[in-house]
Amino acid sequence: MVETVWGMTDLQIKLFTAIGQILVAIAVGFIAWRQWSTARNKLKADLFDRRYSLYVDFLRALNRLHGGDADAMREVQRILAESRWLYGEKVADKLRKEVANPFQELVASMDARRKQAAAGNEEELKARYQAALGAASKATLVLPTIVAPHLTLQH
């Protein structure tokens, strides 16, 4: 064995070189893991932001429908189509059945009430409208319970 700088042998130099390479590999692996973890957390945050934005848009459209703006139903239909991709098929179906359908009935009763007010069956139309308004109000309260489990940053 030949002694070199600092009184180390050739074998000792090879050992320290190997240890250095292993430490560099561990550091690179740790950095890659942190980048993956950061990207995953960003994906969760982005998904949360998009879901929350859709939820807020849904509430705004429902409030417009409560106020008598029948054109907001198109916005609700757009939101339902988008909810399939953000929340999943099951949640979208639940939103359609438990939230959108009562509002669809509310819009239909508002239209019928406007068109047939002079026909003489005002009491029947008013009763239909009141029932639809009650169902729509309950549907507004159901909306947060449907989407709340999906508005989280933990998966």
Instruction: Say if residue 1's pLDDT is above 60.
Output: no
Q: Please state the domain extents for the chain.
A: 43-150
The arithmetic mean of pLDDT across residues 110-126, rounded, is: 75
Q: What is the pLDDT of residue 154?
A: 76
Question: Average pLDDT, whole number, for the chain?
Answer: 88
Distance CA 147, CA 100 (A): 14
Reported as a pLDDT band with limits 50, 70 and 90, residue 77 is: very high
Task: Give the per-residue pLDDT at 4.
Answer: 66
Q: What per-residue confidence (pLDDT) applies to 13?
A: 86
pLDDT of residue 111: 81
Question: If pLDDT is split at 50, 70 and 90, which confidence band does 120 have?
Answer: low
pLDDT of residue 108: 85
